[in-house]
């Protein structure tokens, strides 16, 4: 991931302003440590901190069209850039960068080109012919982006809050699937697929259609000129990403550079569920597996850095971001610059445990739509910023635009969890990859139950965070919480602790407003309570507390579907593989 910062229409174009823009851009250097660039045209500045993944030699930004009058700074990857180049025969390209195509598409089509892009992206484009500009963010919000306004009438756009929070009178999240045009002076939605209206689809489920769409999504994300790997927790989603990558790697350009043996990475406390499960999957797929250990204290020591980088006080996001933050640093130390990850599947297929209580397919579908629309504030934010903190890029094939459209077009009745029909969560996805002749994964892995990420790295991780917060937030502080934090008032000591740290880094009211509802929204408590009132007693967003599902027989068995019948294989209770403190942060390759 790169870092972009644009200051557009400021009242001061003196040298001091250029120095200030450079200073603010350097706050984003962790996102792009490979090179930096700054372009100025009158009262407009476009800066870029580059993480070089495609065309490292000549793809430095900002990028230009042929005559240099259209300038663009981009964070992201355009997977169909070669196809788009071929459709622009009258244009001359200066670099091999996938992002250069944006300048030429604008020159050819004006502002209505964004939907042609297949990828994850945030960009700002300046047309110096009339000093107009356009900014846009990808469909789901995989890349992070914020927009702010200065008292002098300037517009600020940045990959992270820290690039603009000291300069803007007001700032907010730049919404996914939107475009900002200076000619119109407002935001407008460019991404509006059929599922976005939350109308109930009726397309019959076709397993092979789903499988092919996902394989295509993975393969296009193997576009890289640098070493890469996969994040592997051992759960269904990351295991499928790894399985498809391993199967198709041999025929890609990446394999010619880095070999056909895939590298996989996992993080957890010593003895955690994820470490055990990931090792099993890695052995089956034959990956070069790297296992990272951390202690509860390692994680606690990193909390302030994590909140500074991920720019949220949401409880579940911070819990899950911390192990990912620590793992990303170790991955980068190995020389790897890009990883594939499994975010998005739970939102698309209703994989969270409270979906067991969905009363009907209409409610189920609408909740998946709401979850996808909120991804940019939770899992996408975590995956993007926890990795970008160390100059590592995360690509998420489950959120491929075409794959999402395919998956969300099926009749949601096929996604419903129906134990009486041997259909557990995400059955529709599991069935698509249940290949008897050439298995992608062993049956017991393919039908393994959902584990929340922050739980899977080791249950004592969450318990340790709660204990640490208990030591730093007293009962008197909690009594006054509503006066100190009137917006998204923290209801637990852990939430209060994170909020104190966040407000120290980002004290502006606009900053607190970028976090939508704290932990309660992240775990969809309102919906879960509507489906089952027992959720009203649960203030903790951890998946292990969900609806008693983790206290059910699911906890003690892995489902194996064979010949259309449900069999069981008794495994250790989860309690026996709860994480324990490790000697330190170590690596095993």
In a 3-state reduction of DSSP, which class is residue 432? helix
Q: Which of 49, 63, 105, 46 is nearest to 81 (CA)?
A: 105
> Is 388 known as a binding-site position?
no
The pLDDT of residue 455 is 64
> Is 342 known as a binding-site position?
yes
Q: Which CATH fold topology does 3-192 show?
A: 3.60.20
CB 493 within 8 A of CB 478: yes
> Is 267 known as a binding-site position?
yes
Q: Which of 207, 209, 189, 145 is nearest to 171 (CA)?
A: 145
Give DSSP secondary structure letters for 499-511: HHHHHHH--SHHH
- HEC string of 430-480 equals HHHCCCCCCCCCCHHHHCCCCCCHHHHCCHHHHHHHHHHHHHHCCHHHHHC
Per-domain residue ranges for the chain? 3-192, 211-588
How far is 540 from 17, CA to CA, in rounded Å? 46
> Is 231 known as a binding-site position?
yes
How far is 141 from 347, CA to CA, in rounded Å? 14
In a 3-state reduction of DSSP, which class is residue 89? coil
CB 38 within 8 A of CB 47: yes
Across 444-460, b (16+ Cβ under 10 Å) vs e yields bbbbbbbbbbbbbbbbb
Q: What is the pLDDT along the chain (589 residues), one digit of tens a residue?
A: 799 999 999 987 778 899 999 999 999 999 999 999 999 999 999 999 999 999 898 889 999 999 999 999 999 999 999 999 999 999 999 999 999 999 999 999 999 999 999 999 999 999 999 999 999 999 999 999 999 999 999 999 999 999 999 999 999 999 999 999 999 999 999 999 999 999 999 999 999 999 999 999 999 999 999 999 999 999 999 999 999 999 999 877 777 777 788 999 999 999 998 899 999 999 999 999 999 999 999 999 999 999 999 999 999 999 999 999 999 999 999 999 999 999 999 999 999 989 999 999 999 999 999 999 999 999 999 999 999 999 999 999 999 999 999 999 999 999 999 999 999 999 999 999 999 999 999 999 999 876 655 566 777 999 999 999 999 999 999 999 999 999 999 999 999 999 999 999 999 999 999 998 844 444 566 787 789 887 666 655 554 445 455 444 344 333 333 344 433 332 332 222 223 233 333 333 3
CB 511 within 8 A of CB 525: no
The CATH number of 211-588, from 3.40.50.620, 3.30.1300.30, 3.40.50.980, 3.40.1170.60, is 3.40.50.620
ω into 62 cis (within 30 of 0): yes
Handedness of CA 304, 307, 313, 319 (dihedral sign): negative
In a 3-state reduction of DSSP, which class is residue 273? helix
CB 281 within 8 A of CB 305: no
How far is 121 from 143, CA to CA, in rounded Å? 6
The pLDDT of residue 539 is 53
> Is 341 known as a binding-site position?
yes
The two structure tokens encoding residue 146: 């914020």
How far is 513 from 488, CA to CA, in rounded Å? 9
Q: Which alpha helices (DSSP H) does 397-458 contain, by range? A: 401-407, 427-432, 443-446, 453-456
Tell me the whole-structure pTM to 2 decimals.
Answer: 0.91
The pLDDT of residue 456 is 67
How far is 371 from 116, CA to CA, in rounded Å? 25
How far is 28 from 9, CA to CA, in rounded Å? 21
The catalytic site residues sit at: 2
In a 3-state reduction of DSSP, which class is residue 344? coil
């Amino acid at each position: 991931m790169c870092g972009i910062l644009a200051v557009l229409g400021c009242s001061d174009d003196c040298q001091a302003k250029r120095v200030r823009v450079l200073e603010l851009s350097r706050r984003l250097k962790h996102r792009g440590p490979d090179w930096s660039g700054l372009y100025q045209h009158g009262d407009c500045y476009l800066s870029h901190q580059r993480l070089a993944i495609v065309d490292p030699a000549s793809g430095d930004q900002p990028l230009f069209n042929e005559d240099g009058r259209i300038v663009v700074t981009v964070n992201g990857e355009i997977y169909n850039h070669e196809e788009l180049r071929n459709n622009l025969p009258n244009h001359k390209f200066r670099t091999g960068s996938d992002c250069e195509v944006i300048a030429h598409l604008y020159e050819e089509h004006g502002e209505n080109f964004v939907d042609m892009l297949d990828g994850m992206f945030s960009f700002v484009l300046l047309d110096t012919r009339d000093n107009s500009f356009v900014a846009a963010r990808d469909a789901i919000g995989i890349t992070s982006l914020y927009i702010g306004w200065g008292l002098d009438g300037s517009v600020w756009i940045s990959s992270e809050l820290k690039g603009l929070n000291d300069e803007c009178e007001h700032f907010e999240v730049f919404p996914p699937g939107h475009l900002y045009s200076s000619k119109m002076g407002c935001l407008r939605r460019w991404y509006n697929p059929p599922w976005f209206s939350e109308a109930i689809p009726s397309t019959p489920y076709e397993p092979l259609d789903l499988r092919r769409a996902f394989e295509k999504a993975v393969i296009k994300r193997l576009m890289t000129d640098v070493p890469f790997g996969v994040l592997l927790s051992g759960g269904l989603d990351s295991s499928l990403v790894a399985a498809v990558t391993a199967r198709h790697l041999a025929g890609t350009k990446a394999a010619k550079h880095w070999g056909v043996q895939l590298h996989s990475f996992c993080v957890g406390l010593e003895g955690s569920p994820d470490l055990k499960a990931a090792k099993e999957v890695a052995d089956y797929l034959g990956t070069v597996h790297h296992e990272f250990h951390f202690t509860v204290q390692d994680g606690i020591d990193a909390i302030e850095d994590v909140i500074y980088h991920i720019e949220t006080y949401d409880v579940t996001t911070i819990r899950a971001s911390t192990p990912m933050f620590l793992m990303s640093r170790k991955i980068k130390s190995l020389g790897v610059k890009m990883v594939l990850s499994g975010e998005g599947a739970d939102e698309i297929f209703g994989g969270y445990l409270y979906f067991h209580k969905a009363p009907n397919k209409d409610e189920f579908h609408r909740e998946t739509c709401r979850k996808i629309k909120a991804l940019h504030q939770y899992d996408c934010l975590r995956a993007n910023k926890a990795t970008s903190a160390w100059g590592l890029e995360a690509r998420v094939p489950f959120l491929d635009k075409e794959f999402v459209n395919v998956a969300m077009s099926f009749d949601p009745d096929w996604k419903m969890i129906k134990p009486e029909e041997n259909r557990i969560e995400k059955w529709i996805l599991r069935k698509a990859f249940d290949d008897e002749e050439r298995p992608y994964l062993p049956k017991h892995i393919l039908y393994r139950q959902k584990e929340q990420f922050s739980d899977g790295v080791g249950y004592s991780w969450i318990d340790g965070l709660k204990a640490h917060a208990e030591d730093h937030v007293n009962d008197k502080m909690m009594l006054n919480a509503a006066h100190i934090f009137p917006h998204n008032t923290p209801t637990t000591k852990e939430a209060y602790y994170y909020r104190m740290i966040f407000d120290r880094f980002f004290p502006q009211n606009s900053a607190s407003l970028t976090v939508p509802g704290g932990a309660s929204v992240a775990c969809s408590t309102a919906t879960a309570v509507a489906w089952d009132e027992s959720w009203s007693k649960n203030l903790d967003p951890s998946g292990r507390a969900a609806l008693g599902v983790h206290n059910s027989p699911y906890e003690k068995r892995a489902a194996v579907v064979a010949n259309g019948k449900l069999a069981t294989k008794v495994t250790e209770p989860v309690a026996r593989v709860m994480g324990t403190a490790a000697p330190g942060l170590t690596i095993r390759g």
